[in-house]
Amino acid sequence: MSILIKNGRVIDPANKIDAILDIFIQDDKISRVAKDIQTQAETIIDAGNKIVAPGIVDMHAHLREPGREDKETIASATAAAAKGGVTTVLAMPNTQPAMDCSKSVELLQGIINKDAKINVRICGTLTKGRLGQELSDIAALKKIGARALSDDGCSVDNDALMLEALKQAKLAGLLVICHCEDKKLSQKGVINLGFNSTRLGLRGISNESEYKRVSRDIELAEKCGASVHIAHVSCGESVDIIAAAKKKKIKVTCETAPHYFSLTQDALLEYDTNMKMNPPLRSKEDLAAIKQGLKDGTIDAIASDHAPHTENEKDIEFERAEFGVVGLETELSAGITELINQQILDWPELIQKFCLNPARILGIDRGSLTAGSFADVVIISDQLSWTVNKSTLVSKSKNSPFLGRCLKGLVDYTICNGTIAYQR
Ligand code: DOR
Ligand code: ZN
């Protein structure tokens, strides 16, 4: 198999490349990146006027299999991912069963080997059953191939247990991904705490419930020298705390999700459950702080936090609806619309947050176009627009917060390990 991509604007932050170049792919690897490559190839793609970048490394997605195949499967999620330009995804462990032991990880790995259209890496749990009571066998999870550890959806409330988890993760060489939420503070909240929650008569989730836990997790990481990654940062105070920790050289990285830089709590005024996620959409000041954090480098990565739910679980009273939104198919376009077009980030910076930084954080050899590396490439028509609607979403679940919105940028090709995984 060989693919020659001609005349695209190749953006590869790992190699400081932003130029009109050709890329030659042979089998599963990038063979050459150069001007005007003259060679035979089985497939030739004209990428004139298009962006050519490494495939997206989405370090936070809920793929639901095993256990909730009615919401999503490895097959449907990875098809959605390929359509969104994603070539590697980290599967969050809140499946049924949870990814808390070798047996479960093996089960999932078997499904991935059979059904996945892109690279799927597995995140194990920090605690058994994600119950925050007893640590998972972290060494065994590492041995079986888990890439990181998280109780995502929950935070480990017990400080001593979290410290022990961080110590063991450090020993195993695994990254800990923190869902930062103090449920004593956020309890039963369904939207951001503020004027809107009062006006709508809904219980609020304070910024404090997030940033206090961000502070604690960073403190514990500092204490034992472990690396922590803060998931789905949604508020300004969290950004400030992470910036201060980075200044102190504490090993902390973080991500945000597209909805936090695209939408505010005002999107909830119609009780739209597709705007309900945890953490919640915040104030416009928080949104500005997220954008600033992306711009100044405090926020390292953008991840979808893809969280599919069925219509039965979403099309009900607001309080009872599940938290979460799908995002694999819209993340890149949301980034182009909100960050490139509003001049918050330039193209190399955007690609760095979607591809290179998450790959580096996870310690995987992806996210670049270096010759010799795996050929994970996305080709994007950045000038085209599309309107998000249920019928064109490939994901099994349709709970997108962007339904009806016009977004900029369409993926033309997603190439994963040298094979075309998606073509528009
Ligand atoms: O909105 C969310 N949905 N936040 C989480 O932390 C978990 C996720 C899910 O699994 O549905
Ligand atoms: Zn999550």
Each of the 424 residues of the chain gets a pLDDT tens digit; together they read 999 999 999 999 999 999 999 999 999 999 999 999 999 999 999 999 999 999 999 999 999 999 999 999 999 999 999 999 999 999 999 999 999 999 999 999 999 999 999 999 999 999 999 999 999 999 999 999 999 999 999 999 999 999 999 999 999 999 999 999 999 999 899 999 999 999 999 999 999 999 999 999 999 999 999 999 999 999 999 999 999 999 999 999 999 999 999 999 999 999 999 999 999 999 999 999 999 999 999 999 999 999 999 999 999 999 999 999 999 999 999 999 999 999 999 999 999 999 999 999 999 999 999 999 999 999 999 999 999 999 999 999 999 999 999 999 999 999 999 999 999 9
* β-bridge partners, 121: 90
Q: For residues 206 and 369, give the distance between their C-alpha atoms in angstroms, rounded to a whole number.
A: 41
pLDDT of amino acid 150 = 98
Instruction: Report yes or no on 17 lying in a domain.
Output: no
pLDDT of amino acid 59 = 98
Residue nearest to atom 3 of ligand 1 (CA): 324
Instruction: Report yes or no on 344 lying in a domain.
Output: yes
Tokens of 148: 């990181």
pTM of the model: 0.98
Instruction: Report yes or no on 401 lying in a domain.
Output: no
Q: Which residues contact 145 (CB under 8 A, 6 or more apart)?
A: 105, 109, 122
pLDDT of amino acid 370 = 98
Residue nearest to atom 7 of ligand 1 (CA): 153
pLDDT of amino acid 202 = 97
Question: Which residue, among 398, 403, 314, 396, has the nearest Cα to 71 in the 3D structure?
Answer: 396
Number of domains in the chain: 1
Most informative mutation of 62, 282, 314 for ligand 1 (most atoms within 8 A of CB): 62
Instruction: Report yes or no on 302 lying in a domain.
Output: yes
- Ligand 1 atom nearest to CA at 325: 1
pLDDT of amino acid 351 = 98
Q: How far is the CA of 346 from the centre of ligand 2 (A)?
A: 27
Most informative mutation of 323, 395, 397 for ligand 1 (most atoms within 8 A of CB): 323
Residue 190, domain extent: 55-362
Instruction: Report yes or no on 247 lying in a domain.
Output: yes
Q: 402 to each of 140, 310, 311, 327, how far by Cα in Å? A: 40, 17, 16, 9
pLDDT of amino acid 343 = 98
Q: Identify the CATH number of the domain in which residue 201 sits.
A: 3.20.20.140
- Ligand 1 atom nearest to CA at 232: 6
Residue 359, CB-side half-sphere exposure with 13 Å CA sphere: 24
Contact between 308 and 277 under an 8 Å Cβ cutoff? The reply is no
Residue nearest to atom 4 of ligand 1 (CA): 278
Q: Which residues contact 313 (CB under 8 A, 6 or more apart)?
A: 71, 321, 322
Ligand 1 pocket residues where CB is under 6 Å: 62, 94, 152-153, 179, 277-278, 307, 323-324
Q: Which residues contact 120 (CB under 8 A, 6 or more apart)?
A: 63, 74, 78, 88, 89, 91, 112
Q: How far is the CA of 159 from the centre of ligand 2 (A)?
A: 21
- Ligand 1 atom nearest to CA at 62: 10
Instruction: Report yes or no on 24 lying in a domain.
Output: no
Contact between 121 and 107 under an 8 Å Cβ cutoff? The reply is no
Residue nearest to atom 10 of ligand 1 (CA): 307
Tokens of 54: 């490494």
pLDDT of amino acid 2 = 98
Q: How far is the CA of 153 from the centre of ligand 1 (A)?
A: 5
What amino acid positions are annotated as catalytic residues? 305
Most informative mutation of 180, 305, 314 for ligand 1 (most atoms within 8 A of CB): 305
Instruction: Report yes or no on 115 lying in a domain.
Output: yes
pLDDT of amino acid 310 = 98
Instruction: Report yes or no on 194 lying in a domain.
Output: yes
Q: How far is the CA of 392 from the centre of ligand 1 (A)?
A: 23
pLDDT of amino acid 10 = 98
- Ligand 1 atom nearest to CA at 154: 6
